[in-house]
A = this chain, B = another copy of it.
């Protein structure tokens, strides 16, 4: 793999594959591809290629392997770890899947959808809803993220509790290998034990082992009953106890259980239009409970009622409200999904995407807050997320009046404070956003050596020329 700018003659060979109208060479056109939403990474590239078919992707990668030209696959560009941003040495070609955005087939009997990797997630959701089915992946960025990126990062989101991550929502893949060879693994089988699990190796590899060009995704019945409740309570201890009760009462009907701190309500009601505190007085912590039932609407109502009743009886719940309409349900979810955006007007935010065993969430929260405040008095912890998955977005807003740049400059230091506690709980410092550039070095330094060794061997086995998304995920 080269680290030098690519020659104009070589660039022309790449451009010829997709045709000049599908290649961006003007820096003004390329610029939007060089950054990411958080502004942490900024790269440089001489060329964006927009192939229109798997065949074209194959020819691009074959040429890239032959000439050792680095390729960075780009999907919706919403990733939070810099996985989609090229390096800054102008040697990386960007390969955008945006033109490969067709739903190839919707099969409500087989309960699958087959789609190009460049399909926008919301379009997949809509195609499923059009045949009265549910595609359950749900993310804040669903209007712009693309399914190939969701697969490459094993995206999670708010419905993981029951439906799982992308890994669980995908039956088959079509992948172009770094050599240009095409693996047609577009299977529609629930069961297939016929060799090593290649599919799960590509899912979550963040484009370092090949380019996902198509996928077979699972569809589910549309729930008949859907209820959303919002609860004020004292601390994550009570939230966890309520989660256990809700799990026992609802089983797989418990489709969401999100933890929110008071400061999250303050921030969203202050900065997000239309958001207001759903409860009449303030509480230290909140939980958003989402219940979906497939048999009857009434079942969901009964379940939510029982959860709340038992939670009050057990002294876990201080106050609660049930969304009385679809609009109110959406408003509660909108508040939860605006949590990150609401932090922006409050200044800098140092982010963590961690998971610990569910039972250890309360202890982690207590220890992490103490450690962060000791390291940085006045820091405002805005930790929220998927309690039911043990996955907390442990965000920290800057102290009021602090210098933003100076605050952000302490990112790695504060990361270490939080991540040390995560590791002490046997947790992950990269729960759902992936590794990308952001966590590559820290993981290399902290994971067992044998994991890095095995990952490096797999990388070499799949990408001998080392062209795929260099500088991401795997150390080296």
Q: Digit string of A378-411 for contact with B (CB within 8 Å is 1, else 0)? A: 0000000010011100000000000000000000
How long is the Cα–Cα vector from A102 to B474 in the complex, in angstroms? 36
Stretch at the interface among A3-11, A185-193, A308-316, A324-332: A185-193
What residue in chain B is nearest A385 (Cβ atoms)?
B191
Would you list the 3 A-B pairs with minimal beta carbon distance, nearest first?
A: A251-B294, A457-B461, A252-B252
Chain copies in the assembled complex:
2
Give chain A's interface residues, CB within 8 Å of chain B.
107, 109-112, 153-154, 156, 160, 162, 164-165, 167-168, 177, 181-185, 187-198, 200-201, 203-205, 209, 220-221, 223, 244, 247-253, 293-295, 299, 302-303, 306, 355-360, 386, 389-391, 426-435, 439, 443, 447-448, 450-451, 454-455, 457-458, 460-462, 473-474
Using A198-B451, A458-B461 as known contacts, say yes or no to A193 and B295 having CB atoms under 8 A apart.
no
In the complex, how many angstroms separate the beta carbon of A58 from the nearest chain B beta carbon?
12
Are B252 and A294 in contact, with the CB atoms below 8 A?
yes
Instruction: List 8 extra interface pairs beyond A191-B386, A251-B252, A299-B299, CB under 8 A.
Output: A165-B193, A191-B428, A193-B428, A193-B430, A250-B294, A253-B294, A295-B303, A461-B461
Using A204-B196, A433-B193, A451-B198 as known contacts, say yes or no to A244 and B109 having CB atoms under 8 A apart.
yes
Are B190 and A430 in contact, with the CB atoms below 8 A?
no
Are A358 and B110 in contact, with the CB atoms below 8 A?
yes
- The interface residues of chain B lying within 8 Å CB-to-CB of A435 are 193-195
- The interface residues of chain B lying within 8 Å CB-to-CB of A154 are 193, 197
What residue in chain B is nearest A452 (Cβ atoms)?
B195
How long is the Cα–Cα vector from A306 to B209 in the complex, in angstroms? 48
Of the A-B pairs whose beta carbons lie under 8 Å apart in the complex, a sample of 22, sorted by A's number, is: A107-B359, A109-B358, A160-B190, A165-B193, A181-B450, A188-B357, A189-B426, A189-B431, A190-B358, A191-B389, A193-B204, A195-B451, A195-B474, A196-B204, A196-B205, A197-B200, A248-B294, A252-B252, A252-B294, A295-B303, A295-B306, A299-B299
In the complex, how many angstroms separate the beta carbon of A150 from the nearest chain B beta carbon?
12
Using A195-B443, A204-B197 as known contacts, say yes or no to A183 and B448 having CB atoms under 8 A apart.
yes
Are B295 and A299 in contact, with the CB atoms below 8 A?
yes
In the complex, how many angstroms separate the beta carbon of A418 from the nearest chain B beta carbon?
15
User: Among the listed B201, B209, B223, B461, which residue makes an inter-chain contact with A200, where contact means beta carbons less than 8 Å apart?
Assistant: B201
Of residues A191, A192, A432, A474, which shows the largest number of chain B Cβ atoms within 10 Å of its Cβ?
A191
